[in-house]
Amino acid sequence: MQHTVIANALASTNAATFASVNYNTQIKTAAAHKHNAVHKTVTANVTLFNSIKHANVYANALAKSANKHNAQQNASNAAIAQQQQQAHYTHTDCYSIVYNAKHNVYYLYCIINNANSTYYINNAQATKAQVAQLLTNSAANKLLNNSKTQYNKTHDVTHTLMLRTIKCSNINTITINKQTYTF
């Protein structure tokens, strides 16, 4: 349902557009804490694309971000990394809606411009540090690491661009072209 509403809202968009999205994500805990329900609510400003012809906005943004870190190697590898990111998903008629056939799930495919997260343990608001105590060591380190720099080892690309696929069924609200949709 959400994917259809979002695709229809983007149908009148002739280029990339900004949107505000609010969604929930379950956080997997360490086995010793699996009795705790942990999730986060995220409010993010994102960039969405109506069609493939506007998708080069992502490739250009990735190359620009990579160039800030290491112009020689990263720029040549940026396009390859972008293609790898898409390998698990099939784009629909709306480029920002992708489908994972293996799991029969639709996702919102977007660039995260900025985001704010609120964490919950058993529906009570919690800090990142409190949530980290319930995770595996590697997951806790990842949560507490505030670095926005990402490194793609396969293609030797360092960048700060955050491309995400958000499960459409996790979306609470989305605002596109000043129109808010609540699910």
Residue 37 DSSP symbol = -
Please give the structure tokens belonging to residue 112: 């995260």
Model confidence over 125-164: pLDDT tens digits?
A: 999 999 999 999 999 998 998 777 776 677 677 767 788 8
Which pLDDT value is given to residue 170?
97
* Least confident span in 48-52, 98-102, 113-117: 48-52
Neighbour tally for 38: CB within 10 Å? 20
What percent of the chain shows pLDDT beyond 90? 54
For the chain, the domain total comes to: 1
Residue 34 DSSP symbol = T
State the pLDDT confidence band at 38, using cuts at 50, 70 and 90.
Answer: very high
pTM of the model: 0.79
